[in-house]
Structure 1
Amino acid sequence: MTSSEQIRAELAAEGKPVLLGFSRGKDSIAAWLAMREAGIEVVPYHLYLVPGLRFIEDSRKFYEDFFQTPILNLPHPTLYRWLNSLLFQPPERAAVIEAAQLPEPTYEEVADMIREDLGHAGAWNADGVRAADSPNRRMAMVTHGPKRDSVRKVSIVWDWRIADVRDALKRHNCPLPEEYTWFGRSFDGLDFRFLDPIRQHAPDDYERILQWFPLADLEVFRRNLAA
Structure 2
Amino acid sequence: MTLAPHGARVSTHEGADLPITIDDITSSETIRAELAAEGKPVLLGFSRGKDSLAAWLAMRDAGITVVPYHLYLVPGLAFVEDSLKFYEDFFGTRIVNLPHPSLYRWLNSFLFQPPERCAIIEAAQFPEPTYEEIADLLRNDLDLPGAWNADGVRAADSPNRRMAMVTHGPVREHLRKVSPVWDWRIADVRDALARHDCPLPPEYEWFGRSFDGLDYRFLKPIKDNAPEDYARILSWFPLADLEIFRRDLTR
TM-score, length of structure 1 as denominator length: 1.00
Task: Choose from 153, 170, 183 the match for 2:207.
Answer: 183
| 3-state SS of 1:150 partner | helix
**Alpha-carbon distance, 1:51 to partner:** 0.2
Name the structure where helix makes up a greater proportion of residues.
1
The percentage of aligned residue pairs carrying the same residue is: 81
**Alpha-carbon distance, 1:76 to partner:** 0.3
Which whole-Å CA distance do the structure 1 matches of 2:180 and 2:135 have between them? 16
Matched with 1:121 is 145
Q: Tell whether 2:140 aligns with 1:93.
A: no
Q: What does 1:37-186 correspond to in 2, within 5 Å?
A: 37-186=61-210
Q: Name structure 2 gaps, 5 residues minimum.
A: 1-24
Matched with 1:209 is 233
Residue by residue over 1:67-87, the C-alpha shift from the partner in whole angstroms, topping out at 9 and shown as x without a partner, is 000000000001000000000
Which whole-Å CA distance do the structure 2 matches of 1:61 and 1:156 have between them? 24
**Alpha-carbon distance, 1:207 to partner:** 0.2
**Alpha-carbon distance, 1:14 to partner:** 0.3
Residue by residue over 1:5-41, the C-alpha shift from the partner in whole angstroms, topping out at 9 and shown as x without a partner, is 0000000000000000000000000000000000000
| 3-state SS of 1:188 partner | coil
Residue by residue over 1:97-148, the C-alpha shift from the partner in whole angstroms, topping out at 9 and shown as x without a partner, is 0000000000000000000000000000000000000011000000000000
Q: Report how many residues are paired.
A: 227
Greater relative contact order: 1 or 2 (C-alpha under 8 angstroms, separation 6 or more)?
2
Which whole-Å CA distance do the structure 2 matches of 1:154 and 1:49 have between them? 23
Partner amino acid, structure 2, of 1:42: V
Task: Choose from 57, 72, 75 the match for 1:33.
Answer: 57
TM-score, length of structure 2 as denominator length: 0.90
Which whole-Å CA distance do the structure 1 matches of 2:181 and 2:110 have between them? 36
Partner amino acid, structure 2, of 1:152: R
Question: Deviation above 6 Å: which 4+ runs of structure 1?
Answer: none
| 3-state SS of 2:191 partner | helix
| 3-state SS of 1:45 partner | strand
Residue by residue over 1:171-213, the C-alpha shift from the partner in whole angstroms, topping out at 9 and shown as x without a partner, is 0000000100000000000000100000000000000000000
Q: Name structure 1 gaps, 5 residues minimum.
A: none
Matched with 1:221 is 245
| 3-state SS of 2:58 partner | helix
Which whole-Å CA distance do the structure 2 matches of 1:75 and 1:134 have between them? 27
Matched with 2:33 is 9
Which whole-Å CA distance do the structure 2 matches of 1:202 and 1:102 have between them? 28
